[in-house]
Amino acid sequence: METSETPVQPQIPCRYLRSKEMYYQGEQDDEFASGLYWCGRTQESFGPDGDACGKKQCCVNRTCYLT
């Protein structure tokens, strides 16, 4: 039986998304990750468009997104 599953493309976060883990370790998805993110453009927990920053939020559907 065939299924119509499309492969899930990994989301590449915006180049301005920052977290403290990226400065001291390569992996951001470990059990001790803080989960705190900020924008390198605004230096706040929200982007230039006013929406919250996060690994899942800062993706291609944002107006301020840059690869």
At 31-57, the pLDDT tens digits run 777 889 999 999 999 999 999 999 899
- Alpha carbon 16 to chain centroid, angstroms: 9
Task: Give me 67's structure tokens.
Answer: 């690869």
The per-residue pLDDT for 25 is: 63
The per-residue pLDDT for 37 is: 95
Q: Residue 63: is its pLDDT beyond 90?
A: yes
Q: Residue 21: is its pLDDT beyond 90?
A: no
Q: Residue 27: is its pLDDT beyond 60?
A: no
36-44 CB contacts, 8 Å cutoff, 24+ apart: 39/14, 39/64, 40/15, 40/16, 41/16
